Amino acid sequence: MTAPAPDAPPRHGPSLRAQLLTPLLWIWLVGGLLAGAGAYRLARSSVDDAFDRGLQDQASALAAKVMWTERGPLLDVTRQAMEILTWDRDDRIAFAMQDVEGNMLAGDILVPAPPERDRAYEAPLLFDGVYRGEPVRGAVFSIKSPMLDRTVSIVVVETTGKRVQLQRRILLGVLLPGVGLGLLSIALIAWGVRRGLQPLRDVASDVAARASSDWQPLPLERVPAEAVPLIERINMLMADMQHAAQLQRRFVADAAHQLRTPVAGLRVLAQELQRELAADAGATAAGWAPLLQQVDATTQRMNRLIGQLLSLARSETALGVNGEQAPLDIVPLLREAAEPLVLQGLREGRTLELDAPAEPVVARAHPLWLGEAVINLLDNARRYGGEHVLLRVRPLPAGGAEVVVEDDGPGVPPEHLPKLFEPFWRGERADLRNDGGTGLGLTIAREIVERLGGRIEAASRPQVPGMRFTVQLAA
């Protein structure tokens, strides 16, 4: 089998599943990104609001502790209160009191100065900064002395470790259920699409399992409503093809039937002329004898070809889908079919052996046409095989039967095995052989076996001693 050219057009378009799931996946991805961005903003704003309110309260509380004295502003906070204020297990908290120039009046000297100190008189102002190499969030509250013309600012900063952790927990709490629900939705949708397309796969399997002669309409019971017009058109096409095949078989049968009469008449005339010339002792009769023998052989071969064409056409009609088939003991049928060829083989110096068990071998068969198939296989072995032909029948373990026709002849090359069952194929330079074959015997055998629900296989040297045909019949 050759690979398609690189620029060859695709054999089909994108799958229906891909066309259904791809937009849903894009919607899910875009929606997930938007939901993630919204969840991040919500988590950050909620966490910042909570922690910022605490910072503002601390700044306001410290501002309430500022006392104005003659020496200047003092922060009246006990050491124990400072430890409670700045103690935190996860984050670092620091505070400072600064004047308008940013000079440190109390607290930690490393506390960053807010960028806008003059805007924090009515309520604590929030800002971001860096404290001891870590990012911090701060609050500043500025107050004026009621008597002195002085202003101080209380600055409280806190590292952002707990904020980040809480934001992460909120994001996970919001996104994980959403992601899980989205994946579950995609899985359910994919399952639903697969379940919805399963009837179409069942139809494809039904078509693949059918024999080439089965033209029964495809079932519509479980097919989705959208696919019903397609299946109906396929059924109409199958009906048209069945009708065309019937017309073709009828033409072949009618043509063969009409040819039998003139060919039979021609043969009778040739034989009669041969007898009359044989009665004449003159030299003319001796000259005509070889020609008449060739005419007789040709008409005999034409008669056999017409007979096999009729057999092929009749087998296709008789062994239709509803043909007369039933479980039978096939041993008597095979014995009866082989007896005439046994006598003919003995006259030609060949032996035909039947190997069958004593007990019945039951398989699905037709009392007439199974014998016709075996006769064609035996006749092929007689014409092209060796001196010994074996017909063996055995029951199969799972039910049914196996029929083997084997000879010890030269066989055929392996590359010719697929062509054996083609109509009128008789090997290379068949025109130079005068064996009386028509090239239809194996075709008829395969047609009959397949219409009986079985299968036929061919094997040749070096796998077997000569040529072997194996027929497996269903129970």
SS (H, E, C) the chain: CCCCCCCCCCCCCCCHHHHHHHHHHHHHHHHHHHHHHHHHHHHHHHHHHHHHHHHHHHHHHHHCCEEEECCEEEECCCHHHHHHHHCCCCCCEEEEEEECCCCEEEECCCCCCCCCHHHCCCCCEEEEEEECCEEEEEEEEEEECCCCCCEEEEEEEEECHHHHHHHHHHHHHHHHHHHHHHHHHHHHHHHHHHHHHHHHHHHHHHHHHCCCCCCCCCCCCCCCHHHHHHHHHHHHHHHHHHHHHHHHHHHHHHHHHHHHHHHHHHHHHHHHHHHHHHHCCCHHHHHHHHHHHHHHHHHHHHHHHHHHHHHHHHHHHHCCCCCCCEEEEHHHHHHHHHHHHHHHHHHCCCEEEEECCCCCCEEEECCCHHHHHHHHHHHHHHHHCCCEEEEEEEECCCCCEEEEEEECCCCCCHHHHHHCCCCCCCCCCHHHCCCCCCCCHHHHHHHHHHHCCCEEEEEECCCCCCEEEEEEECC
pLDDT digits (tens, 9 = 90+) for 345-374: 778 888 888 999 989 999 988 877 888 889
Whose tokens are 């994946």? That residue is: 183
Spatial contact of 43 and 167, defined as CB atoms under 8 Å apart: yes
pLDDT digits (tens, 9 = 90+) for 454-472: 999 999 988 888 999 999 9
Question: pLDDT-derived band of residue 430, with 50, 70 and 90 as boundaries?
Answer: very low
pLDDT digits (tens, 9 = 90+) for 168-210: 888 888 888 888 888 888 888 888 888 888 888 888 888 888 7
Question: Backbone phi, then psi, for 173, in 5-degree steps?
Answer: -65, -30
Q: Crossing angle for the helix pair 441-451 and 283-318, nearest 10 degrees?
A: 20
Question: pLDDT-derived band of residue 213, with 50, 70 and 90 as boundaries?
Answer: low
Please report, rounded to a whole number, the percentage of residues in the chain having pLDDT higher than 70. Answer: 74
* pLDDT recorded at residue 468: 94
Question: Backbone phi, then psi, for 93, in 5-degree steps?
Answer: -120, 135
- Whether the pLDDT of residue 211 is over 90: the answer is no
pLDDT digits (tens, 9 = 90+) for 300-334: 666 666 666 666 666 555 555 445 678 999 999 99
Judging by beta carbons within 10 Å of its beta carbon (0-12, 13-18, 19+), is residue 84 exposed, middle or buried?
Answer: exposed
Whose tokens are 């000569």? That residue is: 466
Whose tokens are 């991805």? That residue is: 29
* pLDDT recorded at residue 432: 39
What is the CB neighbour count within 10 angstroms for residue 319? 23
What is the CB neighbour count within 10 angstroms for residue 13? 8
pLDDT digits (tens, 9 = 90+) for 105-164: 888 888 888 876 555 677 888 888 998 888 999 989 888 887 767 888 888 999 988 888
* pLDDT recorded at residue 160: 87
pTM (predicted TM-score): 0.46
